[in-house]
Amino acid sequence: MPAVTWEEPFCGEGNSCYRIGVDGDGNSYIAVAGAEASYLTDTTDALRQLIRDIKAGKADHLLAD
């Protein structure tokens, strides 16, 4: 596993905690807290765009009950 600097977990209700991290090569990582060895990775620019899109409401349909 690359040397990833993980942020503190982002937790919702219950056990839904995610961690975001970066490495020194410009890559970003997302994992379930406690399972950081199984991560999704992409560029830091891709993570930046994902966060912008979520903040803009482009994923709100995933939260519909």
**Residues 42-51: pLDDT tens digits?**
999 998 999 9
What is the C-alpha to C-alpha distance for residues 54 and 2, in angstroms, rounded to an integer? 27
pLDDT of residue 13: 75
Look at residue 1 in the predicted model and tell me its pLDDT.
Answer: 67
Residue pLDDT, tens place only, 5-64: 999 999 987 667 999 999 999 999 999 999 999 999 999 999 899 999 999 999 999 887
* 1 touches 7 (CB < 8 A): no
Name the helix (H) or strand (E) containing 51: helix 44-55
The C-alpha atoms of residue 39 and residue 51 are separated, in whole angstroms, by 17
